[in-house]
């Protein structure tokens, strides 16, 4: 069996320079024990938790491209933001440390109630301090980027040269960067002799899904991209994915069809950042059967959605389905008290 030729996508991405922060390509591995447990389809995992720097994760792939702009602009400080246990903030802080730049983070409070006493100090929050980031506490208003932009403006008034990294590193350039994942998956699938029916992943800030959709339109048009909403805001998520994908497609001259954007609702639990029973089950299954460490905010909910779709018989047992492990294991330590592990 063969997959579609990824060379056209690779050629169009090659005009966008990257810094080499991420260890790429990431592996594509079979999940044989989870496949057997669920009775098929054949499951694979794309190990985006293995991108390397600062405990890795999917955002590092985006930063590899996006931060080339920061270097070219001679920025001296990276400005970004997220909640206390944001995986994106941790990867921005790690990249800043590696590049010798200051990192200032707008840390949103009020989006979710701290689920454990260790939430504020452990996991990603601990790593952000280790990587030397500076924190600016701000209230959550629902606008993901306003406080980050305001922080950048204050630093600019102080004579600094800030570079704005959007929430989740989700913008058209970040999406283009993440389309490189499709090049790898297409090449790895061809080498393994599989033809994926779907690529399933958690979706929230939109850039990851936008990149996968645009990349697949060029290199894997027969593979469905399925985003599992983890924000409990599926309409907002889908709208953001459509906008980001349209911008990315324009940049690389790709076809974009809004019908390619599928955001599956109903697996986010009661709210963003709050794990529910299905999330905890997915985390425990991934750990016990495949030695995978999934986080309770993103990848755990993504796998919970995939498991639900399998149990609803969306795919036949002889099909191949790829799950994107976006990383986030450090957050497990901040949620230990509610995971029952």
What is the pLDDT, as a whole number, of residue 3? 44
- Using a pLDDT cut of 70, give the percent of the chain over it: 99
- Residue 323: beta bridge partners? 45, 200
Nearest Cα to 42, choosing from 61, 54, 29? 29
Model pLDDT, residue 5: 78
Nearest-10 Cα torsion for 86, 285, 215, 169: 0
Q: What is the pLDDT of residue 11?
A: 96
Instruction: Give the active site residues.
Output: 86
Query: What does the pLDDT read at residue 2?
Result: 40
Q: Report how far residue 39's alpha carbon sits from residue 298's, in angstroms, rounded to the nearest whole number.
A: 24
* Fold adopted by 7-56+171-339: Rossmann fold (3.40.50)
% of the chain with per-residue pLDDT over 90: 98
pLDDT tens-digit profile of 258-311? Answer: 999 999 999 999 999 999 999 999 999 999 999 999 999 999 999 999 999 999
Q: What is the pLDDT of residues 1-32, one digit of tens each?
A: 344 679 999 999 999 999 999 999 999 999 99
Q: What is the mean pLDDT of residues 42-52?
A: 98
Query: pTM of the prediction?
Result: 0.96
Chain segment 59-112, per-residue pLDDT in tens: 999 999 999 999 999 999 999 999 999 999 999 999 999 999 999 999 999 999
Of the chain, the end-to-end C-alpha distance in Å amounts to: 41
Radius of gyration of the chain (CA): 19
pLDDT surpassing 70 at residue 318: yes
- Residue 310's φ and ψ, nearest 5 degrees, are -65, -45
Q: What is the pLDDT of residues 114-151, one digit of tens each?
A: 999 999 999 999 999 999 999 999 999 999 999 999 99
For 59-168, which CATH class? alpha beta
Per-residue pLDDT at 38 exceeds 90: yes
Contact between 298 and 202 (Cβ < 8 Å): yes
Q: What is the mean pLDDT of the chain?
A: 96
The structural domains of the chain, with segments of one domain joined by +, span 7-56+171-339, 59-168
Identical topology for domains 7-56+171-339 and 59-168: yes
- The number of residues making up the chain comes to 341
């Amino acid at each position: 069996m063969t997959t579609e030729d990824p060379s056209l996508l690779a050629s169009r991405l090659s005009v966008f320079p990257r810094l080499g922060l991420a260890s790429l390509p990431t592996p594509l591995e079979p999940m044989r024990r989870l496949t057997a447990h669920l009775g098929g389809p054949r499951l694979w995992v794309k190990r985006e938790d293995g991108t390397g720097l600062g405990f890795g994760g999917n955002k590092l792939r985006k930063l590899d491209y996006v931060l080339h702009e920061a270097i070219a602009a001679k920025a001296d400080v990276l400005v970004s933001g997220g909640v206390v246990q944001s995986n994106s903030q941790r990867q921005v802080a790690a990249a800043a440390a590696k590049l010798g730049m200051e990192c200032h983070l707008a840390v949103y409070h009020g989006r979710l109630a701290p689920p454990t006493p260790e939430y504020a100090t452990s996991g990603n929050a601990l790593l952000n301090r280790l990587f030397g980031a500076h924190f600016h506490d701000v209230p959550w208003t629902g606008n993901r980027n306003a406080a980050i932009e305001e922080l950048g403006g204050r630093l600019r008034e102080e004579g600094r040269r800030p570079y704005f990294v959007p929430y989740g590193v989700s913008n058209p350039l970040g999406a283009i960067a993440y389309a490189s994942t499709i090049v790898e998956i297409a090449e790895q699938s061809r080498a393994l002799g599989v033809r994926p029916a779907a690529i399933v992943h958690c979706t929230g800030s939109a850039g990851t899904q936008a990149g996968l959709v645009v990349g697949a339109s060029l290199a894997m048009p027969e593979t469905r991209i399925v985003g599992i909403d983890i924000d409990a805001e599926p309409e907002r998520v889908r709208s953001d994915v459509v906008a980001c994908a349209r911008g990315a497609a324009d940049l690389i001259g790709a076809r974009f069809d809004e019908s390619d954007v599928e955001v599956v609702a109903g697996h986010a639990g009661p709210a963003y950042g709050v794990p529910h029973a299905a999330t905890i089950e997915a985390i425990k299954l991934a750990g016990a059967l495949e030695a995978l460490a999934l986080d309770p905010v993103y990848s755990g909910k993504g796998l919970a959605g995939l498991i639900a779709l399998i149990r609803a018989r969306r795919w036949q047992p002889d099909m191949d389905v790829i799950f994107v492990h976006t990383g986030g294991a450090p957050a497990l330590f901040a949620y230990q008290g509610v995971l029952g592990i």
